[in-house]
Structure 1
Amino acid sequence: MNRRNALKKLGLSFGALAVTPTMIGMLKSCASTASDFSPKFFLKNQLNDMQILLDVILPSTDDGIPGASELGLLKFIDGYLDGVVSEDQLSLLQFGVSSIISSAKLQSTTDPINKRSYWETQAEKYFAAGDSKENAWNEELDTLLEGTLDKESISTNALHFMVFQSFRGFAVYAFRINSTIGKEFLHYAPIPGQQLGCVSLEKATNGKLHAFDE
């Protein structure tokens, strides 16, 4: 898996997310697995499935890049949703998460391999749907945001598409500002050095993105 190319293709579904000291602090407290924190947004019985989904979106790689589980991204996303996202967005997202979890329980077993296979199939369905399907789902979501359609009337595919896109955005954002990723895999300069002016990223940092710092 080429993590660099994958990150270029991913966007955020809930708008631009600013890096703030509060969010950096949340990330520093997130070195934990799904089983050892008390969720504020998610229900406890949703954590296992959501952790698997995040691991499908951001798995660890053979060349040593840690994935969602190792970085504790589920805990960060839970805290972010509870503390930052608006009530209207939370209501819609909670409705969507409940729907995808219900579908998972109906269509998969408790076997870890089977469950991961299910989420991989669903991720492919919604991340590689093609322009035609994505445009149709986005049109439904637009009518929802405009208030001409309520969330109970939206199609399952459009609802699930929104959830998958949103959590992909949250996961990539949390990955991007994670301290471990910043210091070990991006260009990290705690005390910025000389101003090099208009030079290419390849020349300035050997092609590495700049890491955020608090």
Structure 2
Amino acid sequence: MKRREALKQIGLTLGYSALAPSALSILQSCTSEAKKWTPVFFTEEEAIIIKNLVDLILPKTDKSPGALDVNVPQFIDLYASKAYDDKTVVKYREEIKSIVDALPISEDGAKGLKPEDYTTLLDKYLKISKTEANQLRKERNLVFKALSNLRNQTVWAYKTSEIVGEKVLAYDPIPAQQIGCLPLDEATEGKAWSL
């Protein structure tokens, strides 16, 4: 089986994901400094937009690193370039284009966008009620689908990063004992388990 096919079968396809060791190796290769990032799949404009959206989806806090700290945009870019087949690439490019088209881009391009432009877009499509979300799904709204998938990809890439897995989530590299009926607060201080 080819690597591309293996990743496709076990990984993320437009927002639906399953954790896979092969995908983790892609994430591990995204450890270069974010400022030196040259996108492989995205255009330079798309990369700027994705980077800003991902930063708003999972910002840095006092207690945890943000998506940019663990190179989520680089991971998504590399994953799309290596795991998607031709048909999926076409669909994914359409989704990314719909996000770009939904932003008020001036002659300065993506560099001229303000944080409020990204916040407005995310609020319009992701901070909505279930009824509004269902309506957008029925209408097959491409921007809604694209932003939902980007959010899913962002969370997936974030949770599978080494830093988050070992420092933010509950982590036990060699789980040797099982203690039943122990409240989560006692077992992991309320943290979810790292995979």
The residue number in structure 1 matching 2:78 is 79
14 and 97 in structure 1: CA distance in 2 versus 1, 3 angstrom threshold: closer
Q: Is the 8 A contact 1:31 1:70 kept in 2?
A: no
Relative to structure 1, the CA distance from residue 115 to residue 108 in structure 2 (aligned partners, 3 Å threshold; closer, same or farther) is farther
Q: Contact 1:33/1:69 (CA < 8 Å) preserved in 2?
A: no
Structure 1 residue 17, shift from structure 2 partner: 1.7
- What amino acid is aligned across from residue 165 of structure 1 in structure 2? S
CA distance in 2, matches of 1:41, 1:68: 19
Match of 1:134 in 2: 133
Q: Which runs of 5+ in 2 are unaligned?
A: 1-11
Distance 1:102 1:114 in 2: 13
CA separation of 1:107 and 1:198: change in aligned 2, threshold 3 A: farther
CA distance in structure 2 between the aligned counterparts of 1:98 and 1:81, rounded to whole angstroms: 15
Residue type at the aligned position of 2:180? G
Rounded to whole Å, the distance in 2 between the matches of 1:43 and 1:113 is: 16
Partner of 2:157: 174
The TM-score normalised by the length of structure 2 is 0.82
Counterparts of residues 46-57 of structure 1 (less than 5 Å): 46-57=46-57
Displacement of 1:108 in angstroms is 9.3
1: CA distance, partners of 2:13 / 2:182: 31
1:8 maps to what in 2? none
Relative distance call for 1:113 and 1:207 in structure 2 (3 A) is farther
Offset, 1:110: 6.2
Contact kept, 8 Å, 2:28 with 2:162, in 1: the verdict is: yes
Task: Decide whether aligned partners of structure 1 residues 136 and 76 sit closer, same or farther in structure 2, where only a CA change above 3 A counts.
Answer: same
- How has the CA–CA distance of structure 1 residues 116 and 32 changed in structure 2, closer, same or farther, with 3 Å as cutoff? farther
1:197 paired residue number: 180
Deviates more, 1:123-132 or 1:82-91: 82-91
Amino acid corresponding to residue 28 of structure 2 in structure 1: K
Q: What stretches of structure 1 of length at least 5 have no aligned partner?
A: 1-11, 142-157
- Distance (Å, rounded) in 1 between the aligned partners of 2:108 and 2:40: 26
User: Is the contact made by 2:105 and 2:112 (CA closer than 8 Å) also made in structure 1?
Assistant: no
Question: Structure 1 length normalisation: TM-score?
Answer: 0.75
5 Å-filtered alignment, 1:143-158, equals: 158=141
Q: Tell me, yes or no, if the aligned pair for 2:136 and 2:144 is still in contact at 8 Å.
A: yes
Q: How far is the alpha carbon of 1:23 from its aligned partner? A: 1.1
Quickly say closer, same or farther: Cα 1:137–1:210, change in 2 above 3 A: same
Q: Which residue of 2 aligns with 1:94?
A: 93
Q: Secondary structure of the residue that 2:60 maps to in structure 1?
A: coil
User: What fraction of aligned residue pairs are identical, expressed as a percent?
Assistant: 29
**Cα-to-partner distance string for 1:66-117 (whole Å, 9 max, x where unaligned):** 1121111011111222222344333222112113213325369669795211
Q: Is the 8 A contact 2:26 2:78 kept in 1?
A: yes
Tell me which residue corresponds to 2:9.
none
Whole-Å separation in 2 of the counterparts to 1:46 and 1:33 = 19
State the alpha-carbon separation in 2 of the partners of residues 101 and 34 from structure 1: 21
What is the identity, as a one-letter code, of the residue corresponding to 1:99?
S
Q: Which residue of 2 aligns with 1:144?
A: none
